[in-house]
Structure 1
Amino acid sequence: MAEVHHVDDPADPRLADYRDLRDVQLRRHLETENGLFLAEGEKVVRRAVEAGFAPRSFLMAPKWLDGLADILETTDAPCFVMEERVAEQVTGFHVHRGALASLRRTPLPTLDAVLEGARSVLVLEDIVDHTNVGAIFRSGAALGFDAVLLAPRCADPLYRRSIKVGMGAVFTTPWTRLDDWYDALPALSARGFTTVALTLADDATAIEDAVAEVEKVALVLGGEGHGLSARWERSADRRAIIPMREGIDSLNVAAATAVACYVTARR
């Protein structure tokens, strides 16, 4: 069972995992160097632990002890309990959801392991906004997609903001990063997937038509603003568009993913 420590000093060195959560660059360095990630909120903390991620520690307000008591019984990681005003001094913001956990990252699976048995996958190229990545994971999980593949420069799905927006979907959705960006889509085609790029290209067809009667599909989505690279647009098997009313050319990438997933799930 977790050992509970009541803390009133925000400078306590045992709280290093939780410092400066608003500093994205600092957090990237700290979390990568130490092989950790943070989960925020009772539901997300619970989902992370239940998915098999090993806790390093917990930080929470006193009122959350009872709600997470069953989770705390499963580990010997320390639990630091403090008033919300003290926690705010540690993290740099008001932890209104009351509970945080620092958990150990696990090695990413191979591409073949992630794709085993999959029929519908999402492929993300250079989507750098953590909120969008989290929302995409949530949409994919909700609409029955089997896996998510990320190009090397995509934002980290295990960053706190991504996890929070995705409500922990990253814990249950198989995912990995693509080692070979240049030939990533041909490699998926060789594995039997029809790659469908969401794009405004002149030869793009309506998403309903592009995914109709496709057995194994990989929806390919590009970065905010600039969209897909020319290489990925050209190497996709098909190019698709979500038809818009006149004067509107596109949706935010997270919203477009939700629409495309909904249509594809009913192909």
Structure 2
Amino acid sequence: MSQVANVITIDDPADPRLADFRDLSAADRRPDRPGGRGLVIAEGVVVVERLLASPFPVRALLGVARRIEALADRLAPLDVPAYVTTAEVMAEVVGFHLNRGVLASADRAVQPPVADLVARARTLAVLEGVGDHENLGSLFRNAAALGLDGLLLGPGCSDPLYRRSVRVSMGHVLRVPFATVEDLPGGLDLLRENGFKVAALTPRADAVPLATAGLHTGKAALLLGSEGPGLTEEAIAAADLAVRIPMFGGVDSLNVATAAAIAFYALGIQDKSRETDPSD
């Protein structure tokens, strides 16, 4: 632990220095609420590493000794406190037993304006009413894995920086650009002005099969709706075309994150320039 200058051992769960991590299970007090303190909370070594490498200003870490030790190389150049305690004290602070053994807190980074994100992108996802934090986290992880340039969050979407979304995304929500679109479907006009073809993903029978839609040939934005009701009729009507994933009989739809992963792959199927080498 000698590599990390700011390691501080704490035995008292009431220590005020742990305020960033207190009551994570209390809906009205949790520090990552957008209407509250609005902090970003990363959980587990891998996700904390991604937070440390992100533009989000890290405030502090809290963890058991072996988890802080695992992060020593990443922490060495940073001037942030790393509070070390026992699993029992940590559970009292956060409100539940944390299997992953380490948390980090950060302030929110400024997200790009919608116009800037659209101007520099080739492939985007536009989300309407995706309110489930786990689905949203999965969408960000899929977007990172399959090379999307960003996500636009329309009305009814949950906060992608809520702890559960950050965890399910494996921290990729911290590096995939996103912006909020206040008006859908009106906001789709900006995409078309920038040369995007807007495709609404829907299971309805008259939609074009995804494989023949030609979305990989130019700029494309995929419009995705919430789990259950899917896209509104207004959103589908405002898209340039409706596309579907053909499925065998008896299955009418897929989970939104699963469907999105298939469609994201189709968007960038000929773009190998950003593919990760498995040997890295």
> How far apart, CA to CA, are the structure 2 residues paired with 1:108 and 1:58?
23
2:69 is equivalent to residue 66 of structure 1: yes
Identity, in percent, stands at: 43
Which amino acid is 1:163 matched to? Answer: V
**Residues 86 and 71 (structure 1), Cα distance of their counterparts in 2 relative to 1, 3 Å cut:** same
Return closer, same or farther for 1:261/1:30 CA change in 2, 3 Å cut-off. Answer: closer
| TM-score (normalised: structure 1) | 0.93
Q: Number of aligned pairs?
A: 267
Please report how far the alpha carbon of residue 33 of structure 1 lies from its aligned counterpart in structure 2 after TM superposition. Answer: 3.2
- Equivalences for 1:15-164 in 2 at 5 Å? 15-27=18-30, 30=33, 32-164=35-167
The match for 1:181 is 184
Bigger drift between 201-210 and 100-109 goes to: 201-210
Match of 1:243 among 240, 243, 246: 246
Q: What 5-or-longer segments of structure 1 have no aligned partner?
A: none
Partner amino acid for 1:102?
S
TM-superposition CA deviations, 1:210-256 (whole Å, max 9, x none) = 23454000011001111112221110111011111111100000111
Which of the residues 191, 197, 201 maps onto 1:198? 201
**Per-residue deviation at 1:203?**
2.7
Kept after mapping to 1: 8 A contact 2:125/2:152: yes
* Greater per-residue helix proportion: 1
CA distance in 2, matches of 1:142, 1:241: 21
Is the CA contact 1:211–1:217 (under 8 Å) kept in the aligned structure 2? no
Residues 1:252 and 2:255 aligned together: yes
Residues 160 and 213 (structure 1), Cα distance of their counterparts in 2 relative to 1, 3 Å cut = closer
Instruction: Provide the rounded CA distance (Å) in 2 between the counterparts of 1:213 and 1:100.
Output: 39
Does residue 5 in structure 1 map to residue 8 in structure 2?
yes
In 1: Cα distance, 2:44 partner to 2:189 partner: 40
| Contact 2:200–2:243 (CA under 8 A) maintained in structure 1 | yes
Match of residue 225 from structure 1? 228
What is the SS of the residue equivalent to 2:126?
strand
Kept in 2, the 8 Å contact 1:125–1:223? The answer is: yes
Q: Counterparts of 1:41 and 1:192 in 2: how far apart (Å)?
A: 40
2:265 aligned residue (240, 247, 262): 262
